[in-house]
Amino acid sequence: MKQRNVLLIASLLLLGGCGTIGNMVIQDASLEQKAAFALNTTADKVKISNRSGSVDGTINFVATTKGKSHQCYITTMAGAVSSQAICSGSNSVKQNNNQSCNALLKAAGRC
């Protein structure tokens, strides 16, 4: 029983560090490729900054391209397997230019 509890605690500690370990293992070049795909551009036009790993297996980072910064994240299992990047405000999202522009939309920078 005691050995089982020790094994369970060790497993939880190992899995709890997936994002932290993944952040050390995954290189900027890999993050640039993943962010470039999400932002519909090429990896050489993407710069990565503000990387941080968390215990839930995510790596948060900022991808800058064409003068715009996008908050992105990937999920990882200790750096061995990682997801594609999810980024805010990606270029693949089309903005509706046919909308009427009012004061609120102007203040938000939408027109």
Q: In this predicted structure, what is the pLDDT of residue 93?
A: 46
Q: Which of 72-76, 93-97, 107-111 has the highest mean pLDDT?
A: 72-76
Token pair, residue 21, equals 């370990």
Letter for the amino acid at 55?
Answer: V
The domain limits of the chain are 28-108
- Beta strand 68-77 pairing with 58-65: antiparallel
pLDDT tens for residues 70-94? 999 999 886 678 899 999 975 554 4
Give yes or no for a contact between 58 and 67, defined as CB atoms under 8 angstroms apart: no
Q: What is the mean pLDDT of residues 35-50?
A: 94
Give yes or no for a contact between 19 and 55, defined as CB atoms under 8 angstroms apart: yes
Give yes or no for a contact between 24 and 79, defined as CB atoms under 8 angstroms apart: yes
Please say if the pLDDT value at position 58 is more than 70: yes
Q: What are phi and psi of 55, to 5 degrees?
A: -70, -15
